[in-house]
Amino acid sequence: MRAARLHEYTEDMEDALTIEDVPRPEIEASNQVVVEVEGAGWCQTDNHIIEGMWEPYADQSLPMTLGHENAGTVVEVGDEVTTVEEGDAVLCHPLRTCGTCRACRLGNDMYCENAAFSGLTHDGGFAESLLTSERATITLDDTDPVDIAPHADAGITAYHAVKKAARELVPGDYCVLVGIGGLGHIGLQAVHAMSAARTIAVDVKDDALALADSLGADHTVNSTDEDVADAVDAITDGRGAKQLLDFVGSDTTTALAPDVVTPGGDHHIVGYGGHVHQPSQDLVDGEFDYRGNLVGTYTELQELVALVEQGEIHLTTTEYDLADINEVAAKLERNEIEGRAVIRP
């Protein structure tokens, strides 16, 4: 089968992956599932994996097939699989978890002690077929696997962060969303679906803000034209935002909290690549929290699929052939993709 393989870490996205023939995956355990991949979302994390940013944090053995936002049709199941069968359309959680370690039993899937992460530690879905597990597959009803594939990571990560923020938001509160791109445009819809808060969308591109406006943002701020803190202060009558969802994670955006977040609020870091450089007194004086977000649990992905199937959340996507995969990587590096890119192997 054809697969897009990473052989060495590089910052050159134009020639990062090679398309080559590799053996199709085979069932090795009774709980495993083979999925014919119909759609695989390209994620900023894929760029970071190519750059070697994840190498200190995850056991990686190159060459490796990337792709962790996968959906398709089940074509083979292990002997003990009972919840899916051949022919089922499924969305695949990127993390294959054991279900028996303490973290799994507590419902904290992302902390599984025996996890395998498709496209990060094990071969992923930028290929014609993917080996995964029964525990990682969610059956789809009327949703096209190509349309929903990016929700396997982009969607669930945004939902995971918004779910935490929504617990703190009450009517009259404001929520700032920074970066209305692949994750941010999902997060914006999730905030409206899960809370009564008013939203302030921040981006550097007018096209992204136009998308935010079309998705129901109450206010938009172009941070190249306006000071974000001043804009939020004016919109909120000096009260600030109770929650800030940072889908960029640069040094500039992580520095917003002291001037934007109301005392006792939270700055959720979803995008990454920058640093948090704030005086400890800022946190003491504002009593706000920086909160990290790592994908999300299996049950949260189920909840997100329900919102999608109810028509509450929609994806903006562009489809590409597997042969165009390096073009996609380069476009994302140049911030030229609106919404999400989906590879069709």
We report the CATH number of the domain holding residue 106 as 3.90.180.10
CB atoms within 10 A of CB 319: 12
Q: How far apart are CA 284 and CA 287, in angstroms?
A: 5
Domain stop point among 292, 316, 334: 292
- pLDDT of the residue at 143: 86
* Same domain assignment for residues 17 and 133: yes
* Same domain assignment for residues 23 and 71: yes
- pLDDT of the residue at 10: 96
Q: Which amino acid is at 33?
A: V
- pLDDT of the residue at 254: 96
Could you tell me the CA-to-CA distances from 183 to 45, 53, 78, 295 in Å, in that order?
12, 20, 34, 11
Beta strands 32-42; 340-344: pairing state = antiparallel
The DSSP symbol for 43 reads -
Count of structural domains, the chain:
2
Task: Tell me the CB-side half-sphere exposure of residue 185, using CA atoms within 13 A.
Answer: 21
pTM (predicted TM-score): 0.90
Q: Which CATH number does the domain housing residue 215 bear?
A: 3.40.50.720
Contact 278, 257 (CB under 8 A): yes
* Same domain assignment for residues 208 and 103: no
Residue 89: which domain range? 2-153+295-344
* Same domain assignment for residues 249 and 228: yes
- pLDDT of the residue at 169: 97
Hey, which bits of 79-215 come out as E strands? 89-92, 95-96, 116-117, 129-133, 137-139, 174-178, 198-203
* Same domain assignment for residues 29 and 90: yes
* Same domain assignment for residues 134 and 200: no
* Same domain assignment for residues 9 and 149: yes
* Same domain assignment for residues 96 and 180: no
* Same domain assignment for residues 331 and 302: yes
* Same domain assignment for residues 277 and 305: no
Task: Tell me the CB-side half-sphere exposure of residue 260, using CA atoms within 13 A.
Answer: 28
pLDDT, one tens digit for every residue, the chain (345 residues): 999 999 999 999 999 999 999 999 999 999 999 999 999 999 999 999 999 999 999 999 999 999 999 999 999 999 999 999 999 999 999 999 999 999 999 989 889 999 999 999 999 999 999 999 999 999 998 889 999 999 999 999 999 999 999 999 999 999 999 999 889 999 999 999 999 999 999 999 999 999 999 999 999 999 999 999 999 999 999 999 999 999 999 999 999 999 999 999 999 999 988 999 988 898 888 899 999 998 999 999 999 999 999 999 998 889 999 999 999 999 999 988 888 899 999
Q: How far apart are CA 166 and CA 64, in angstroms?
A: 37
